[in-house]
Chains A and B, each alone.
Chain A
Amino acid sequence: MSDPVIIFNDVSKSYPMYHHITGGIKNFIFHISKGIDSLKNKRYEVFRNISFAIEKGETFGIIGKNGAGKSTVLGLIARVLLPSDGKIEVDGRVSPLLELGAGFHPDLSGRENIMLNGVLMGLTRKDVEQRMEEIIDFSELQQFIDQPIRVYSSGMLARLGFSVIAHLDPDILLVDEILAVGDLEFQKKCIAKMEEFKKQGITIVFVSHSMANVEKICDRVMWIENHEARTIGDPGSTISRYTEEKQKAL
């Protein structure tokens, strides 16, 4: 185990208080001194000085309260966010698992959406065409595949999304709380697929509030609390400490 594919070296992330300007030009002009002052001097700190290395083929879980910065870590790995400080190295093709229906168009058929989503995720049209039947089989949506997805249930949408991701051949898979939707059977299928990914040597970064799932599939877990990485360690002990503390706080 000495082949890290994701390295966070002393990474901090903060950003300006955008709400002063996203209120609009009118708002900004009326409160111009306050707005400029807060843009210059105040920053919202998500977390600071986080360091870790994820090995190739490892399944790495991230836990913590809402707003602790779990999704920000995934954003940094996917390179949609840049760190304010520190260094990040990511080696390989990163595929994020999107939230329900993101990147889909309701008026297009399942088949057309597979194409759209696959290309958005970095495949060429030829790649997607080659995998089309396999993706449809995996989704088990054959009967509905040529209907517009606005008639799909949320579980069916989740199935479609996961089926695309499952066939992207990523080196690194980012999973953010996706298993919250879909029926139990589908959840089981997703977990099984993730375990299959593990066997293939795909690195997975998994964010979830479901401790049972985290414990089941993760090799290591990072617990983010109070803007810092509180512990990084084996799932069993980290999760039991986390749940213990949460119960105390109640």
Chain B
Amino acid sequence: MAGKGGIQRSFMTINANRTLQHYIDLIIVLTQKELKVRYKNSFFGYLWSIAHPLAFAFVFFIAFKIVVRIQIEDYALFLIAGLFPWQWFANSVNASPIIFLGNASIIKKVNFPRNLIVFTQVLQDMIHFILAVPVIILFLVMYDKTPSAGWLYGIPILLCIQFFMTYGICLVLASTNLFFRDLERLTFIITTLLFYFTPIIYTETMIPQRYQWLAYFNPLAPLIISWRNLFLNGIVDPALLVVSSGYAAAMFIAGYLVYKKLSWRFAEVL
């Protein structure tokens, strides 16, 4: 369908190397922009990016450890080990529906790979997450634990899985929201629901036996459990890795296909 008009793509043939260099430069410049804007105006830029999950951890600690007296050891550490990666996911996904809308004026005029704007959003939230890892180490130390060697391979693998999963979902939302403009509200409701369906404030073993199978339908569950196991015990369960990689691949492919199918209409609908 996209080739209907038969436009010659002579522009694309300039030079494959140059195109790749341009892609890389676009990602660098767009990421720099976001990071500069975030950290330039306020000295507390870094604090802001970790304040949100820490505030949540504090609230859940009060509610579940002190009031409900949940039976989980080192609950504060347990919470932030799941909340930080969740925050990365939620920030990207909640921002994604308005990404293309917010760049309407250039999308209507300039022919550049628009998926890179989404890519940069996810990358940027990933950088914030990586910068927050020292906070997790601080909590480990507070509970007399230490980071383990397993992080060296575990973190890159999980970063990769979460990146592609989040990127795929964000591509679908960013592209589709141009056509159905209330998707933004729906996204927010769904991420809120998803938060409570994911074992972040409770352990997966606390889910009643007959409902446990349901957790496998939640693409976030195996991923968040893996992050927490890695941070707390330095281990990753290969089965969980396989399941979450499967989800990540599916989401990424779905996102790419939806984007490919819709992207040539972006300028029409904006």
Contact = CB atoms under 8 A, between A and B. Distances in A.
Chain B at the A interface: mostly helix, strand, loop or mixed? helix
A21 interface: yes
Contacts of B26: 119-120
A75 B110 contact: no
A151 interface: no
B109 A79 contact: no
Interface stretch (B145-153, B175-183, B245-253): B175-183
B142 interface: no
Contacts of B10: 90-91
Interface in A61-109: 74-75, 78-94, 96, 98-99, 102-103, 105, 107-108
Given A18-B269, A82-B264, A124-B18, A24 B108 contact: no
B160 interface: no
B269 to A, nearest CB: 5
A122 interface: yes
B207 interface: no
A33 interface: no
B105 interface: yes
Interface string B22-40: 1001101110110011001
Range of interface residues on A (Cβ < 8 Å): 35 or more
Interface in A1-60: 11, 15, 18, 21-28
B192 to A, nearest CB: 18
B153 to A, nearest CB: 32
A11 B40 CA distance: 48
A94 B7 contact: no
A102 B33 contact: no
B110 A103 contact: yes
A115 interface: yes
Nearest to A26: B182
B268 interface: yes
A181 B106 CA distance: 18
Contacts of B30: 116
B106 A98 contact: yes
A15 B265 CA distance: 9
A211 interface: no
A232 interface: no
A121 interface: yes
Given A15-B268, A80-B110, A86-B5, A116 B29 contact: yes
Interface of A: 11, 15, 18, 21-28, 74-75, 78-94, 96, 98-99, 102-103, 105, 107-108, 112, 115-116, 119-125, 174, 176
Interface of B: 2, 4-8, 10-11, 14, 18, 21-22, 25-26, 28-30, 32-33, 36-37, 40-41, 105-112, 178-183, 186, 264-269
25 contacts: A18-B179, A22-B180, A25-B183, A78-B109, A78-B110, A80-B109, A80-B110, A82-B7, A82-B264, A85-B4, A85-B5, A87-B6, A90-B11, A92-B11, A98-B106, A98-B109, A98-B110, A102-B105, A103-B106, A107-B36, A112-B33, A112-B36, A119-B22, A120-B29, A120-B110
Given A15-B268, A24-B181, A81-B268, 16 more contacts: A15-B265, A23-B181, A24-B180, A75-B267, A81-B267, A82-B4, A85-B5, A93-B11, A93-B14, A99-B109, A107-B40, A107-B41, A108-B37, A119-B29, A120-B29, A125-B25
Return the 8 tightest CB-CB contacts between A and B, nearest first: A24-B182, A102-B105, A83-B5, A80-B267, A96-B109, A103-B106, A119-B29, A125-B25
